[in-house]
Amino acid sequence: MPGPGLCAIARGKMTTGWKEYAGNRKNTRLYGARDDSAGTGRMSGPDAGGKGSGHRRGGGSTLQRIWGLHGATAHSDGFVVLILTIKSGPSAGKWKSYQKDIVLPSGTRMTRMNPGSVWHVYGHASAGIALYYWLDPTNVSFKYLTFGEGTCPATAATGIYVTTPPGNHPQNTFGAILGGNQTTGCRVEVEDHASTEYFPWAPGGTFTWSIPTEYIDDTSTRHSFGSNSIMTPTIQANGYTTIWKAGQAGSAAVDAPTSGW
């Protein structure tokens, strides 16, 4: 990945350059926007100016980079056009262009790291699940971005969460985004532990966090994207506890054995 004509923003920048293989100038490749698969950004498609095809012929070449943003800011979907022109030699004046689209992350999905495991402390109202974040669209590599969650207030608090307020969800940084494939997309490297507090038997209660998902560029600027990740812990009157986040859930009874993630 990415798929044909698609690339991710590379930590807020697009990067181009020559990679020359020692002793073989004809194998010089033009790399497009930084992506997951080295070499796939070489010239391809109709030969706009005749010869060239991403190889250097003759005495030299020039590389031009043309931006075309569809949105109003630098953090918008758009495209970059790379143009290679032969400067001298038998193929002087020949050129070729190659366009790659710039695609921003559009949303997230979550899956259970250990579907059969629920974190719990025996004798307490408690439950937790280990999750992975995945980024959409799946056919774009976001491995040069960093992922994090934003801050938000707790809403709709009842019961124990009124007397013991959970406060705001803290802003955090999960870190690196791994490479992926066009079926699954890219996964955030670090897992998320979504859990309730643990209380000795509690008189029930619930609240909701609507957590912004964010990518972080190389200037450390955070950008929200997609729909918020909704997290809701619920403790029933008998202490039975359920944690729910982004469509994934786990539950535990007060007298269930202590268990890990």
Confidence of residue 144 (pLDDT cuts 50, 70, 90): confident
pLDDT the model gives residue 65: 42
Q: Kindly tell me if the per-residue pLDDT of 125 is higher than 90.
A: yes
Tokens of 155: 């809403």
DSSP state of 163: H
Each residue's pLDDT tens digit, 145-177: 999 999 999 999 999 999 999 999 999 999 999
pLDDT the model gives residue 61: 52
Lowest mean pLDDT among 83-87, 196-200, 236-240: 196-200
Helix count (H) and strand count (E) of the chain?
Answer: 1, 20
Q: Kindly tell me if the per-residue pLDDT of 24 is higher than 60.
A: no
Confidence of residue 225 (pLDDT cuts 50, 70, 90): very high
- Identify any residues that bridge with 85 across adjacent strands, giving them in sequence order: 62, 95
Lowest mean pLDDT among 16-25, 82-91, 102-111, 233-242: 16-25
pLDDT the model gives residue 101: 81
pLDDT the model gives residue 181: 86
Lowest mean pLDDT among 10-19, 79-88, 243-252: 10-19
Each residue's pLDDT tens digit, 37-85: 333 333 233 333 333 333 333 345 554 444 343 333 445 667 788 888 8
In whole angstroms, what is the distance from residue 54 CA to residue 208 CA? 54
Q: Give the contacts of 146 (CB within 8 A, at least 6 positions apart).
A: 11, 173, 174, 175, 176, 177, 215, 216
Largest Cα span, the chain? 84
**Cα four-point dihedral sign 83, 89, 91, 92:** positive
Q: Under DSSP, is residue 57 helix (H, G, I), strand (E, B) or coil?
A: coil
Domain ranges of the chain: 6-103, 107-252
Give the mean model confidence (pLDDT) for residues 205-212: 97
pLDDT the model gives residue 118: 98
